Structure 1
Amino acid sequence: MSLILSEVINHVGYITLNSEKTLNSLSLPMIQALKTVLDDWRSNEDIACVFLQGAGEKAFCAGGDIRKLHDAIIAQRTIDPTIVPDECFNFFCQEYQVDYAIHTYPKPLIVWGHGIVMGGGIGLLAGASHRIVTEKSKLAMPEITIGLYPDVGGTWFLNKMPSAYGLYLGLTGTRLDGADCMLLGMADYYIPSSAKDAIVDSLQKTSWKGDAHQIVDDILSHFNAAVNIPNSLAAAHLTFVKQFEQVSSIREFSAILHHAPPDDEWITNGIKGFESGSPSSAHIILRQLQLGRHLSLEEVFQSELNLSCQCCLHPDFVEGVRALLVDKDLAPKWKPATVPEITTPWIDSYFSPLWANDNHPLHHLGKNYMLWQK
């Protein structure tokens, strides 16, 4: 079975993530196949527009295949625990290059963000020129619950959200629906899932004479205009989220969170996500967003590759995946176990550079796109 399906109809290139049983989770072979198609179509004059979707109705993409990364880390630890496993390095390095390619793609790139969109799926959605959500879209960056952090450009798009929503979502893993995504700048169009066939039909019937980006915008805006977007729960909690705008420590964040109004399901779920997550991840996420406020897109992916590889060398990522997907006991044993046990040198170690600037694996981003294939 092909992990990526692709076809071209009337100058529209359709790409389907084809792993419905895994909710279209990204494996390294899938990332490589997606990379190849996007690169081929980038300069193909017959392609005016790209439409990226997931197989089935349940998910666009539920994230990365972290179970394989867990297995690679366990195997590497029996050999040399100070070395990042090749499979982990290749996965993150090539995933971020695909994300960057989408952010900088010269042609209209539509993402049909229907159903579950998590982790790596958000990485594919976030940089697209035309991002669609539906009434069934469910987005989240719950990496704190597996000892990781919001990567795939999270440093970039979380920092661009209004107020302190980016920090709050990163530290709690709170889920978003389509209305929330429109509020927070994670989507450009809210369109009923029932309109998909009509959108595809419109794309296939267009003449593609003129500005392709404007043509796509006109088509999607037509469908978007007919929709009454539901009320956003995130918007309803703006006053609450504003309290986190000046937070400079995890203890401050925790204190505000635990003084929240009782019996509020949206906030209660956020508390659960924060409390069950890795204490190390909490500190990493806060520093990630603080340090990343003024980074360029290229610098974001370069810094995230370093941080992700460091997570493979530290204990919590593999432990979080074990608890969620391997043993499924949902009882991770974090090291250190509590927020007060976290020290500054410990968090510093996560941000310690693995490469010098001139030999960083992603040093070429923004200079010569084609280098990323070599």
Structure 2
Amino acid sequence: MSDVVLFELVTATNGKQIGVATLNSEKSLNALSHEMVNLLYPQLLAWQGDENVAAVFLQGSGDKAFCAGGDIVYLYNNLPANNGDKAPQIEQFFTDEYQLDHLIHTFGKPFVVWGNGIVMGGGLGLMAGASHRVVTENTRIAMPEISIGLYPDVGGSYFLNQMPNNCGLFLGLTGASINGSDTKYLNLADHFITHQRKQEILDAIVEINWGDTQVLNQQKLTEVLNNFDSECASTAPLSNVQQHSDLIAETTKANNLNDIVADIKGFEIEDKWFNRAQKSLTHGSAISAHLAYRQLNEGKNLSLAECFKMELGISTKCGEFGEFKEGVRALLIEKDNKPAWKYAGVADVDATLIDWFFESPWSDDEHPLAALGE
């Protein structure tokens, strides 16, 4: 068995070192397993504390995916047999995952994520907080949790709220797929560089005259990546989201979820990208739609750490409630694509149930992520 994460220290020309981490599960499209999380977190902490390590570069093995999401099959296999029972393995997985995501968001050194290929769910959680997020002509990003009875977690309460024109809400409700140009428009990426130039990027990073001042190191790396970005800009795809920004704003302008869902689903247009988003919303979980809508409203006034704490409570409750289990069964286990959702539509969902999802199982002092601070 090979290691699921590969770690390497590359020595720069001036003697500093670059920590390179590679998600090494190409067959699963580098799905983020608990083992990966438990390997990445201590190594990143060590690199952050090592004065000889100037920067970190995180990538996925192969050319198809950076990370296609969390290891949903692992989570399914650890869900309780009976709805309502506690799900300790689920709680631990999400605790460790969010702790890792928060570390990347707050990392004290330049942190590059090479977001080539598929980047979904948990993969976006790894990418969103990096200081230098690179996307390519192959990048395909989505938060498709509405299709499995979950919700856009891994910090989505925070980064979806940073997007313009209600685009975060639209993506959370529809799980719509976005490309590399979309990610730059949505503040999810910093640089567009073609995938074939990755080795050139690594070579250029080695040549940087790294110092001990983090602000200057960040600037030096930005300049290098900006130069490549400028050279590749003409090959970037058109942004679907930017092209549809007025339509997204129009269909999400209502001040309640029922009307927003009705407006998105009911808008008549012959457009492949928008129609696909409508279909995902139509066939998705009504509970998931409520969770996404509520989390973004709650997250507007929360810090990054508070968002992760809120999400851990919701995710733990999702492990106890049967909607998530049913969604994974239908999509990934039995693959009949016929989930038996608890509610037929968003108007049918019991409001007290959504309140329950947002009631934290812990006091502030006992919260598993209490150490994240505020």
TM-score by length of 1: 0.94
Alpha-carbon distance in 2 for matches of 1:100, 1:123? 9
Q: CA deviation at 1:337?
A: 3.1
Pick the aligned partner of 2:280 from 273, 285, 295. 273
Q: Which residue of 2 aligns with 1:68?
A: 74
RMSD of aligned alpha carbons: 1.3
Look up the SS of the partner of 1:225 in the other structure. Answer: helix
Q: CA deviation at 1:331?
A: 0.6
Structure 1 stretches of 4+ moved >3 Å? none
Q: CA deviation at 1:90?
A: 1.0
Q: 1:208-228, CA deviations, whole angstroms, 9 ceiling, x for partnerless residues?
A: 136211111111011001122
Moved more, 355-364 or 183-192: 355-364
Equivalent residue runs for 1:1-374 within 5 Å? 1-10=2-11, 11-73=17-79, 76-77=80-81, 81-209=83-211, 211-226=216-231, 227-228=233-234, 229-366=236-373
Alpha-carbon distance in 2 for matches of 1:93, 1:204? 34
Q: CA deviation at 1:245?
A: 4.6
Q: 1:168-191, CA deviations, whole angstroms, 9 ceiling, x for partnerless residues?
A: 000000000001001110000001
Q: 1:272-324, CA deviations, whole angstroms, 9 ceiling, x for partnerless residues?
A: 11011101111111111111111000100000000000111111100000011
Q: CA deviation at 1:338?
A: 2.8
Tell me, yes or no, if the aligned pair for 2:179 and 2:237 is still in contact at 8 Å.
no
Tell me, yes or no, if the aligned pair for 1:50 and 1:108 is still in contact at 8 Å.
yes
Alpha-carbon distance in 2 for matches of 1:191, 1:17? 20
Stretches of structure 1 lacking an aligned partner (at least 5 in a row): 368-374
Stretches of structure 2 lacking an aligned partner (at least 5 in a row): 12-16
Q: 1:184-208, CA deviations, whole angstroms, 9 ceiling, x for partnerless residues?
A: 1000000111111111111122231
What is the percentage of aligned positions where both structures have the same residue?
A: 43
Q: CA deviation at 1:98?
A: 0.3
Look up the SS of the partner of 1:334 in the other structure. Answer: coil
Q: Size of the alignment, in residue pairs?
A: 363
Q: CA deviation at 1:108?
A: 0.2
Look up the SS of the partner of 1:254 in the other structure. Answer: helix
Tell me, yes or no, if the aligned pair for 1:12 and 1:49 is still in contact at 8 Å.
yes
Look up the SS of the partner of 1:258 in the other structure. Answer: helix
